[in-house]
Each structure stands twice: as C-alpha cells, then as structure tokens.
Structure 1
C-alpha cells in the first residue's frame, strides 16, 4: 500500500501506517496462500521449483516480522472493541481460549504416564534382560538403542512443561509469589491481572517468539535464515534453499530429534500469548461485572482433596 513509506517519518505515523496496512496484508495473505504455503507438500523433501523455495522463505520471514506483529495486533484490537461493545462476545472468546488451553493441556498431560511407563520398560530391558536395543510399535516395529529411548524421556518432560503451561495457569496450579495480592480488594486484583497480562505475559511471549522462530528454522533449512535478513535477501538465498533437519544427538546412539524441542518452544509461546489475551479479557470482565462473575465459565478440574481445593481457591 505504501503507507509506511509515506507516513514513516515519525513514530506515530509509522505505527498507524503499519496498523492500517495490517488489514490489507491479512486479507492479501488469506487470498494468496500459494505465495507462502506452497512448500507444505514438500516438507523435508525436494523442492523442485524456485517459487516453492521462495514461498518457504516468505513464510520464515513473515513469521517473525513487523508485518505479522501488526496483523496480530489488529485482530486483537478488533476483537477487543467488539468485546467492549458486547460483553457476551468477550466471554465467548475467554471460553474458547481457555478451552484450547485446557484441551491441549489435558491431552499432553498423558505424556507423564507415558514417560513413567517407558522408564519402567527401559529399566527392565536394560537391567534385567541386558538388551542393547528396544523395539516398539504395532505391525511395523520401531527399533532404537536403549540410550535413544532413555534420552527421549527429556522430550516427554518438555512436552508436559510447554504444552501444559496454560492449562496449569487456567487451573490455578502455578506457584504464586504473593506479597500484596491476597490482601487487596477484588477490583484491585483484577487491575493487577490486567496490567500483568499486558506488561509481562504478552511482551515476554513476543520476545520468546522472536527468538524461538529463527532458532527453529536455523535447525531445519540451509542457508540459515537470520532475524536481520530482509525479505529480498531471503528470497535471494532461496535459490540455494534446501531442507537440513537437525538429527544430531548428544551421544552416538542417543535421541536425535532435538529440533522437536524448538517446535515445542514455538507452541509454548503461542499458547502463552493466547492465554495472556484470555486472562486480560477475563480480568476486565470480572472487574466491570463484580465479584459474582469471578470464575464465570471457568472449567476447573476437581482436585478431590478439600484442603487442596481451598488452597487453589485462595490462589
């Protein structure tokens, strides 16, 4: 559109130019998915055409770009304005976002059981039967060295931490360092929560995304993309672009899919960002609707212990 070039002389002009262009960029991207998603059928395979490689480079560039930030900001502002006009719509957004956190967390929490069962199998196979290789699977066996399965336990632990973080937040399970929160009024608590979500959760998530995005792609493709590269430079690099998925382990026969940890970092950041928005909306709605709205539409798991239930309610 050219607004950034025309208005970019001042900080205010730069901001509003990007914000206005965000709506154009969003609809243009949705209407032209081939420009940035054409690489999907060739994931970790040969990309025969330069246009496909350029599409991947566009995806990498825009995934952590100023343009993408303003698209997300524009969506947030539009949803927030609609929610301010119609509070029930905002409650619906809270319910959807918290349902995502709960659904993802409840699913990946099973990784804890899987981790324990796999550790038991490793101990028996290694210490009792003295085997060096374990095969798992139905029909087609997946065979790896015992050290591979042992190191893979780190991945299960990372899955629980990254994918259950917002679920734990919704359930009130995070440890709270409470100095003044419990002693203030309902209204003050909600104001503190709103400020905390805007000034701490969202900026921390954005910074983690900016770091993690290029950290991920540097371990998936070569030439390595850089956060300082312009789009034109990345498109120039696209001619030599190829997949180079990280498969190096810490030990010769150890777990060799450490790129999955980088994927988890991105997923973790996205979940935290969504939960920060949900927390801001819930805090605002509970502020204007009063104490009777506290915990409204909140889907919390029963703990089963009265003392633990009381502690969770206090926090």
Structure 2
C-alpha cells in the first residue's frame, strides 16, 4: 500500500512537471510573436487577441509553470536546501532528515499556504475575476488557483518523501524511479 502510494504521487508530480515544462517553450514563442507583431508589423493584435492579452498569457503560463513544477522539483531534489550536513550524511541520517523535515516543516507550510490562499481564491472564483484590463485574459481566478495546486502537489510530494524515508528506516527497499542516483 505505501509503495503504491509513493509511486503514484511520484508519477503524478513527474507527469505534471514534464507537462508544465512545455509552458517555457510556449512563453518564448508567444513573446517572439508578440514582439514581431508589435515592432515589425506594428500590429496591436494577433489572431484577434490584443497584445496585452498575449502578454498576460505569458504571465499566466509563467505562474502555472512555477506553481505546477514545485512538486516535480522536490521529487527531483531540485529545491535549495542547507546542504552543510545533509550532503555528507549517511543514508539513515538523510532519511531521518527527510522524514522529520517533510512532516514537521514542509507539510505545515503547505497547509498554511493553502489555508491562507483559500479565501482569496474562493472569492476570485465567486466573482469569476478577470483581468483589470478590458482586453486582458478574463480568467484570473484560474491563475490564483495555481497557488492551491502548488500547495497540494508539494504536500503530496512531502507525503511521498516521508513514506520513502520511513520505509527505508524500517528496512524496506524503496525504488526511486524519478531520482538521479548521483544526487541521492
């Protein structure tokens, strides 16, 4: 059961992270097209949408990329950590650090982020909040929802990390399919 749960969470965050990574290409292409349309062709619209709409699209994609990739980054050990002790620690000490860090620090922070963002996101959905600009994207409530997504994905990855650490501490084998063995 625990093995299936951490595998599911890891696969979920890996898939979402790989999906949102494509937002980087989309942002670059949109920015290129926007600059081309505005400064080469002197057009204020592209495909029937204003240049402001396209600029907001870049902001939306960037926000979704950062928020959607938080769990993926944690899965792949990409977050910044104070590595003074962890780097040279034994696997057992690393497992204790991951277990305690995930349960005592990361999960409460994820809960706090979710709890504090919820009223703002709920109000945004209730009002179907859109751009402050008339020609902007009318889906600001979706952008704000990515904060909740980030907190949930990061919390799930904290559960996965804690489960894997606990299993290793109990002597079970844990298969890390999504992690580079050189960084573990």
**What is the TM-score with the length of structure 1 in the denominator?**
0.55
1:262 is aligned to 2:144: yes
Please list every run of 5 or more consecutive structure 2 residues that lacks an aligned counterpart in the other structure.
none
2:182 is paired with a residue whose SS is helix
Give the Cα–Cα distance (whole angstroms) in 2 for the partners of residues 164 and 264 of structure 1.
11
Instruction: Tell me how large the CA RMSD over aligned residues is.
Output: 1.9
Q: Which protein is bigger by CA-based radius of gyration?
A: 1
Tell me what 1:122 maps to: 34
Taking the TM superposition and a 5 Å limit, the aligned residue runs for 1:177-216 are 177-216=82-121
The higher-RCO structure (CA 8 Å, 6+ apart) is: 2
1:120 is paired with a residue whose SS is helix
Give per-residue Cα distances to partners, 1:96-148, cap 9 Å, x unaligned: 1101111111111111111111111111111111101111xxxxxxx221122
Tell me what 2:11 maps to: 99
1:313 is aligned to 2:182: yes
Residues matched between the structures, number: 184
Give the Cα–Cα distance (whole angstroms) in 2 for the partners of residues 184 and 220 of structure 1.
46
1:274 is aligned to 2:156: yes
Residue from 265, 283, 286 that aligns with 2:165:
283
1:248 is aligned to 2:153: no
Tell me what 2:178 maps to: 299
Give the Cα–Cα distance (whole angstroms) in 1 for the partners of residues 183 and 19 of structure 2.
27
Tell me what 1:167 maps to: 72
Moved over 4 A (4+): none
Give the Cα–Cα distance (whole angstroms) in 1 for the partners of residues 183 and 15 of structure 2.
24
**What is the TM-score with the length of structure 2 in the denominator?**
0.91
- How big is the shift at 1:248? 3.4
